[in-house]
A and B are shown apart, each in its own frame.
Chain A
Amino acid sequence: MSWRLPPAAGVALLAASLALSATAIRGRDESTRGAGHELEARASAQATQGTPPATPPPSSPNSAPAQSTAPAAPAESAAPAQGQAAPAPSTAPAAAPQTPGADAPNAARGGDADKKKDDKKDEKPRKGLPVTEPLILAKCAGCHFDLGEKKLSRISFLRKTPEAWELSVKRMLRMQNVQLTPDEAKQIVRYLANDHGLARGEAQRAMYEVERRIHWSEAEADKDLRSTCGECHTLGRVLSERRDADEWKLLKATHLAFFPLAQWQAFAGDGGGFEGIDWESMSESEAEAEFERRRSEKRADRADKVLDKLAKDLPLFTPEWDHWSVNRRTVPLAGAWDVTGHEVGRGDVRGVLAITATGKDEYTTEWTLSVGGAAELVRKGKGVLYAGFQWRGKTETTSAGEEPELREALLLSEDWNELRGRLFTGEYSEVGLDVTLRRRTALTGIASIDDAAVAIPSSARVLDVRGSGFPAALAAADFHAGEGVTITAAERVDDGHVRLTVDVDRKAKRGARELSFRAVRGDARVVLYDSIDWIRVAPELGLARVGGKMRPPQTERFEAVAMNRGEDDELYTADDYAVKVVPATWTIEEFPVRENDDDAQFVGAIDARTGRFTPALDGPNPARRWSANNIGEVYVVATCRLATRETPVKPKPAKKAEAKPEGGQDAAPPAAEAPKEDDAPIRIVEKEFRSHGRLLVMVPLYIDWNRFQWDKR
């Protein structure tokens, strides 16, 4: 965080930023004030009425765009804005001439003629993508000027995911007063996502962004990148784009024009560029002079370094994109797909998806799903395949107890036979199913195994194997599940279901085993375990948001995962592995961080049986001290009783014996003890497990940039 500023400097910087931004945006003020405020209600009203998005519905009290004057008003003030921006080179060295007009094409119109001339004069042949969509040429070329060879300024030097393009188009509607009908917007986004999109591997890295996950990690990402970009939005937003070097630089200019405080919140670097100054021993005037000197000093911000790196890491042209762009085609998806997956709190998902083609890259869908072993339900919907590999869709159902609407974000595999991603819903997209779909072909395929955790030892344990195309004549010998597992019988129920009977040897090694059928390998695994050693609460740290009055709440779901101690025989280590999800009783307990901490009384309630947490109402709570919100931090406790084999005792002596030789002492014979354990009688005991997770209950979000509406398009 780069919040650390001396008070005087902070105030001065704030004043300076505000002054700068006020001049920078003064021209645009008129045009943005009316068009600035878009509510979802308004968007959906547009969608249903088919009115141009920039026109407010009569019911919206805040929207009164001065449309007739808007395009003209900024023109005069744009030039002074650019002039004002110039004296502060530290804020945008590379992009100063185009700040902020570069991203405010309407505003740039005033100086258009000169600007075009200048751009053309300095122009090296800049490699870009041709824009061929007539609608874009008609609607966007007024501001995005023609650079020749069918290249349009900015648009030709960007590639993005459908969602990232949608954000851009929405911004143009909101801030530049572009007039588009929903159908036109849809057509533009579709074209851009297809022809100025990402290659498959590129899109894969940003999938968590479009899957709208609540639980993800960017811990592995570059620290500077996280501090510079990740303070305000996910890095997924960054990974959703490819730009050439100039465009990456302009991105900073765009941010500074819209969010000037980003300069010291994130861009400048630690200390906001003011580190190492002894403000306290200066007088106020000295401090201000020093602050001014520092501020006008020309130096590279952290953001500049990050953008240089992004220009190398995420360039416009990559071998992968070159390959993809010439090999792109309509990949047929029609047919049946076997669905496997998991929904936290409800269990494993099984089913079939039938896809029917209705147009170019457009499909209708019918999902037949069973979640957590419940009866099958049918969901119907539709979807679009962007750029030949990015599926976006929506399904609906009227089944009782099911989410009425789910959105879908799936990625097609390189071999076109697998779709993987998330179906989600909820006010914050927090409820979701992780799914993998395998195309059903004439070839045999193994999709999954029901209840695949098998105890060591086992005899005559039945395993239901799901897949497709199992031939009529098959035998136990056709299946293999690795060391220690003997398949004694195989019964074909139908061509998508085989029932195996297996024995597991007492000496089998613990862990996962691949199941194969003849030359078919598949992803299905049998998980072998001797005992359940502890319970893990997943997610370990949950997030919920109060709601119900102003905005619906963000719920959270937990599940208890039975764990085995893993090969090292120690609990809670990295090699511990999940055996299966087990039923538990759920409670909330205080996570004490202060005296008389009372969060647990207020934050909300967890369903004792399902582990589903529903937060309390939003707004100040008069019953709490200071009328605090119902926010807080609590433990989520899972308790369960399970019959499991007593943890074999062999490991500990063996471990000690191994440890001792390091001290140069006796290399005791552990070999002598091992067989003893193997012969010991197996005792099944009933154990009680209790495990904690943590839950943060927070305030609502007041703005949601990621409310994607591709499903409404």
Chain B
Amino acid sequence: MKHLQPINRKARLLAARTDERSGARALADIPFGCSTQLDPGWEVDSQGGTYGLCTPVERDLYDCYHTCYWPAQVPDALTNFPKWSNSCGAAAQDWAKIDLVFP
């Protein structure tokens, strides 16, 4: 838990239970809520289903876009589509305005 500080009661409880030697590994793995299998078009969670995926997707969509984008599913901010999010600043509210991209 070197890199994380508990800030609420639940987190402090978790921190107290954590074995200091093994540390907290959960966040070292795939960001929780992302797909682990990306056979293109078949993005699913580690169990092959949808339960582990972040939902509603609109809430975190621009995280995929800015940081860990998948060019197969979400446009990338870095090179190809830097203005993708311009027409919809808050995806969770204006999600119907999100642009679709057909390169």
Q: Hey, which bits of chain A sit against chain B, CB under 8 A?
A: 1, 3-8, 10, 14, 18, 21, 25, 28-29, 32-33, 36-40, 43, 61-62, 167, 170-171, 174-175, 214, 218, 230-234, 257-261, 265, 279-280, 284, 428, 543, 549-551, 591, 593-594, 599, 618-621, 626-629, 631-633, 696-705, 707
Contact of A705 among B27, B61, B103 (CB under 8 A): B103
For residue A280, give the distance in angstroms from its CB to the closest CB of chain B: 4
Quick check: A259 and B103 within 8 Å, CB to CB? no
Residues of A within 8 A of B96 (CB): 549-550, 619
Q: In the complex, are the beta carbons of B28 and A5 less than 8 A apart? A: yes
7 contacts between A and B (CB under 8 A): A1-B37, A18-B78, A230-B39, A231-B38, A698-B50, A702-B73, A702-B100
Give Cα A37 to B79, complex, Å.
Answer: 11
Contact between B28 and A631 (Cβ–Cβ < 8 Å)?
no
A-facing mask of B10-45, CB < 8 A → 1, else 0?
000000000001110001111100001111111110
Residue of A61, A171, A628 with most partner-chain B CB within 10 A = A628
Q: Mark B58-77, 1 if CB is under 8 A from A, else 0.
A: 11010000011111111110
B8 within 8 A of A: no
Chain B residues with Cβ under 8 A from A698's Cβ?
A: 43-44, 50
**Interface pair B82/A36, CB less than 8 Å apart:** yes
Given A280-B23, A703-B71: A629 in contact with B56 (beta carbons within 8 A) = yes
A591–B57 Cα distance when bound, in Å, is 21
Task: Report Cα–Cα, A167/B103, bound state, in Å.
Answer: 8
Chain B residues with CB below 8 A from A700, complex form? 100
| B47 CB–A CB distance under 8 Å | yes
Interface size bracket, B side? 35 or more
Which residues of chain A have C-beta atoms less than 8 A from B99's C-beta?
Answer: 37, 39, 62, 702
B50 touches A697 (CB 8 A): yes
How far is B98's CA from A551's CA once the two chains are assembled, in angstroms?
10
B80: chain A residues within 8 A (beta carbon): 32, 36, 174-175, 258
Known: A620-B56, A620-B92. A39 touches B102 (CB 8 A): yes
Taken together as a complex, chains A and B put the C-alpha atoms of A487 and B2 apart, in Å, by: 81
Given contacts A36-B83, A37-B101, A701-B73, contact A3 B29 (CB under 8 A): yes
Cβ B56 vs Cβ A628 within 8 A: yes
Sorted nearest first, the 10 A-B pairs with minimum C-beta distance are A620-B56, A707-B102, A3-B30, A628-B55, A232-B72, A40-B102, A703-B101, A280-B23, A633-B49, A699-B57
Q: Given A3-B29, A591-B49, A696-B42, list of 14 further CB < 8 A pairs?
A: A1-B36, A29-B82, A37-B83, A62-B83, A62-B87, A167-B103, A171-B103, A174-B103, A175-B79, A231-B70, A621-B56, A629-B56, A633-B49, A702-B74
**Chain A residue with minimal CB distance to B46?**
A1
In the bound assembly, the distance between CA atoms of A7 and B87 in angstroms comes to 33
Question: B76 contacts which chain A residues (CB < 8 A)?
Answer: 258-259
Q: What distance in Å separates the Cβ of A302 from its nearest Cβ neighbour in chain B?
A: 16
The answer on a CB contact under 8 Å between B79 and A32 is yes
Q: How far is the CB of B6 from chain A (nearest CB, A)?
A: 15
Given A174-B80, A257-B79, A549-B96: A701 touches B41 (CB 8 Å cut-off): yes
- CB A560 to nearest CB in B, in angstroms, measures 23
Say whether A232 contacts B101, CB under 8 Å.
no
Give the one of B28, B38, B58, B102 with max A CB within 10 A: B102
For the complex formed, measure the closest distance between the CB of A271 and the CB atoms of chain B, giving whole angstroms: 11
B40 touches A233 (CB 8 A): yes
Known: A38-B102, A39-B100. A620 touches B58 (CB 8 A): yes
* CB-based contact B84/A37 at 8 Å: yes
Measured between alpha carbons, how far is A279 from B101 in the docked complex, in Å?
A: 40
**Complex interface: chain A residues within 8 A of B97 (CB):** 550
Across the interface, which residues of A come within 8 angstroms of B70, CB to CB? 231-232, 265
What distance in Å separates the Cβ of A385 from its nearest Cβ neighbour in chain B?
25
Q: In the complex, are the beta carbons of A234 and B40 less than 8 A apart?
A: yes
Q: How far is the CA of A543 from the CA of B41 in the complex (A)?
A: 9
User: Which residues of chain B have C-beta atoms less than 8 A from A258's C-beta?
Assistant: 71, 76, 78-80
Query: A702: which B residues are within 8 A, CB to CB?
Result: 61, 73-75, 98-101
- Flag if B57 contacts A629 (CB, 8 Å): yes
Complex CA–CA separation, A170 to B103 (angstroms): 7
Alpha-carbon separation in the docked complex, A21 to B61 (Å): 22
Q: How far is the CA of A280 from the CA of B50 in the complex (A)?
A: 31
| A218: min CB distance to chain B, Å | 7
Say yes or no: B44 contacts A232, CB within 8 Å.
Answer: no
Distance of A265 Cα from B76 Cα, bound (Å)? 14
What A residues does B92 contact at CB under 8 A? 620
A34, closest chain B residue (CB): B83
CB of A636 to closest CB in B, whole Å: 14
Question: How far is B82's CA from A71's CA once the two chains are assembled, in angstroms?
Answer: 18
**Bound CA–CA A28/B82 (angstroms):** 12
Q: Which residues of B contact A40 (CB under 8 A)?
A: 100, 102
Chain B residues contacting A696 (CB-CB under 8 Å) are: 42, 44, 49-50
Task: Return chain B residues, CB-CB under 8 Å to A8.
Answer: 3
A632 to chain B, nearest CB (A): 6
The listed residue (B3, B74, B78, B83) touching A25 by CB distance below 8 A is B78
Q: Which residue of A lies closest to B85 (CB)?
A: A62
How distant is B34 from chain A, measured CB to nearest CB, in Å? 8
Interchain CB contact (< 8 A) of A631 among B53, B81, B82, B83:
B53
- In the complex, chain A residues whose CB is within 8 Å of the CB of B22: 280
The docked-state distance in angstroms from the alpha carbon of A25 to that of B79 is 7
Q: Name which residue of chain B comes closest to A702, CB basis.
A: B74
Q: Is there contact, CB below 8 Å, between B103 and A6?
A: no
Q: Which residue of A lies closest to B58 (CB)?
A: A620
The reply to whether B103 and A703 form a contact with Cβ atoms under 8 Å apart is yes
Docked CA distance A37–B95 (Å): 18
Of the listed residues A3, A18, A33, A257, the one surrounded by the most CB atoms of chain B closer than 10 A to its CB is: A3
